[in-house]
Chain A
Amino acid sequence: MQLIQLLVSGVAQGCIYGLIALGFVLIYKATETVSFAQGDLMMVGAFIGLACMAFLGVPFWLAVPISIAGMAAIGFSTERVVIRPILGEPAFSIVMLTVGIGYVARGLVTMIPAIGTETHVLPVPYKNVTYNAGGLVLAAEQLVVIGVTAALCALLYAVFRYTRVGVAMQAASQNQLAAYYMGIPVRRLNALVWAIAAMVAAIAGLLLAPITFVHANMGFIGLKAFPAAVVGGFGSLPGAIVGGLIIGVVESYAGFFLPEGFKDIAAYVVVLIMLMVKPNGLFGERLRKKV
């Protein structure tokens, strides 16, 4: 029973990692950019939700779409203002750029007087609700995380599989130049991908907030989503979720069975083993150019 209990909490935590990793993978697939700002976008999303609910008194069901829409706008404008001028530069410049965006986001949130430096509790309606199922204690927060993640994955899958925009995005991610020639507006798609990634980040933030707290440094959890993305294969959307689940479950078991301290580095040990055994990840694409 203990094992299943740990499994459930690991899966819930893993879903969060998976959602953040999903943001990485979306952006990576579309623009070949690794965004270090994803965790901080998540933090901003959680803060928007918090601001709506705790300070403006907006009900929960309205605050969620507001923060998702707000993050979409932020993601879209970030792409337009700072990412687009530098597209085509060496990948490392763009990585440093996203690091800079992360710094600015964290700093700006910290600068909000009397709010930014505190830790807050997001007052969601399902807070502290638990279900008892055959000896298992299931927290509603964890069930919501798992359910929403599954629904979001299905939605994203459907978008990428069946809509024109989704197919165009796939084309652009496989070969930007060829997509241009086919008349696909690649730049607009890139902006859209950033908006989607920011929306996913907002959802991740709103899901994570009831489990932990809302504070300016919560974005550092994004650093654990990197291993998730790598384990799943950086270019694979289902891989991101699977990688996140693996990292979450391993972490959960490591925290219980191994001495203190192993929980924090379990994710990194897993990713190092993965890079040694299978550098392309579980679902990674293996493309090679012959010279």
Chain B
Amino acid sequence: MRFIFKTSYDQDIALAKHRGHVFWYGLLVALLFAAPWLVAEYWLSQLTFILIYGIVGLGLMLLAGFTGLFSIGHAAFLGVGAYTEAVLGGMGWPFPLSLACAMGLSAAVGVVVGLPALRVKGIYLGIATLAFGFIVEEVLARWEHVTGGNAGLSVKAVNLFGWKLGSGADFYLLCLVLAIAATLVILNLLRSPTGRAFVAIRDSEISAQSIGIHLARYKSLSFALSAAFTGLGGALYAHKISFLSPDQFGIVQSIDLLLMVVIGGLGSVHGAFLGAAFLIAMPQLIAVGKDFLPPAIGQAAGLQGVVYGAALIGFVLFEPMGLYGRWLKMRTWLQLAPFYRKGLFKRQKSFQKSERLR
């Protein structure tokens, strides 16, 4: 067991709580930076996808996991970021500038989508974002002279002041740097007054309001920041996938993103990346598992949907904290062994609270 002896208040908000954190996260970052020399190109590409979806997951986690506002149209922000980057990059803008524009435009769209959040709650907000997602997808498909419509739009390689990052390893390192930067921004945000305000709004809007948190401002801010992160992920996604079409940013993608944060673990920064790893690794695992199943099941087209759905149902029923919650339990078991008690993480039974009376 580890006892942390606190000698100053700064320790309460320090990013690394103890030496173990420094060591293990340092090792993880070192391994990730060394990955281009350690793993094959295919796995590097999958790792890049995990990082990109991780950034998107951070955005959605900020909104859904930390502010308690659920967006069923988050793929729209992904699309706005991706198309902005593709169009500006195509016009020869340097990467940092076009990336900033992609994030800015996504954030602006985020504020617009967030407007209904000031008036409606719960499922109504979900449907407002769902509607917005459909409208953005339709705009992407119909605004043909900019987005190329349903015919698609091909994306040029990253142009970092004349240095072309075409190959897998260079682009992977770029994604890694941006993912680490995004994680640090989120972690710092969450220990700042703004982040605390978000969490307060999630836990109870009424009490947040009563301690002087301006709901409208913070909800808009949350939407804007979340959309900006998603736009950043979208810009990287555009370069990685290098061919955009509107149907990549439809409702299925939005639900996949939600599935990602729920399976990863709502309300944890780790969850964004764990969920991304699940989302990317699952098709691979299914492909491996196919060989062991009878062909009638293994070769069927719907297998992936069934596995995703079953995983989602399983996590909601048995592990509401997601993969990160499972990891927490395992870690606690190891730390406390042999004194782990079964009821340590027992869920509190609660009566159903009516949403109509709020």
Q: Which residues of A contact B (CB under 8 A)?
A: 28, 31-32, 34, 82, 85-89, 91-97, 99-111, 113, 116-117, 175-177, 216, 220, 223, 226-227, 230, 234-235, 261, 264-265, 267-269, 271-272, 275-276, 279, 285, 287-289, 291
For the complex, give the distance between the alpha carbons of A227 and B123 in Å: 11
A88 touches B309 (CB 8 A): no
Q: 19 new A-B pairs (CB below 8 Å) besides A230-B127, A234-B123? A: A92-B64, A92-B70, A99-B309, A103-B312, A104-B305, A104-B309, A104-B313, A106-B305, A107-B307, A220-B251, A223-B251, A230-B124, A264-B134, A268-B130, A268-B135, A269-B131, A275-B124, A275-B127, A289-B357
Candidates B206, B251, B350, B356; contact of A88 at CB < 8 Å = B350
Contacts of B316 in A (CB 8 A): 86, 93-94, 96-97, 100
Closest to A87 in B: B352
Q: Determine the interface band of chain B, counting residues with CB < 8 A from chain A.
A: 35 or more
Q: Is B342 an interface residue (CB 8 A)?
A: no
A111 touches B297 (CB 8 A): yes
- Shortest distance from the beta carbon of B348 to any chain A beta carbon, whole Å: 10
Interface majority SS (helix, strand, loop, mixed), chain A:
helix
Candidates B116, B131, B302, B358; contact of A227 at CB < 8 Å = B131
For the complex, give the distance between the alpha carbons of A213 and B259 in Å: 29
For the complex, give the distance between the alpha carbons of A110 and B303 in Å: 8
For the complex, give the distance between the alpha carbons of A110 and B300 in Å: 7
Q: A111-B301, A271-B128 given as contacts; is B259 within 8 A of A82 (CB)? A: no
Contacts of A94 in B (CB 8 A): 316
Interface majority SS (helix, strand, loop, mixed), chain B:
helix
For the complex, give the distance between the alpha carbons of A272 and B311 in Å: 33
Contacts of A116 in B (CB 8 A): 300-302
28 CB-based A-B contacts, threshold 8 Å: A28-B123, A87-B352, A88-B349, A88-B352, A89-B350, A96-B262, A97-B312, A97-B313, A99-B259, A100-B309, A101-B309, A102-B309, A104-B309, A104-B310, A105-B309, A108-B302, A111-B302, A116-B302, A177-B351, A223-B130, A223-B251, A268-B135, A269-B131, A271-B131, A272-B128, A272-B135, A276-B119, A279-B119
Restricting to B118-134, which residues have a CB under 8 Å from any CB of A? 119-120, 122-124, 126-128, 130-132, 134
Closest to B314 in A: A100
Q: Is B317 an interface residue (CB 8 A)?
A: yes
Give me the 5 closest cross-chain CB pairs, A-B, nearest first: A103-B309, A110-B302, A107-B305, A100-B312, A268-B131
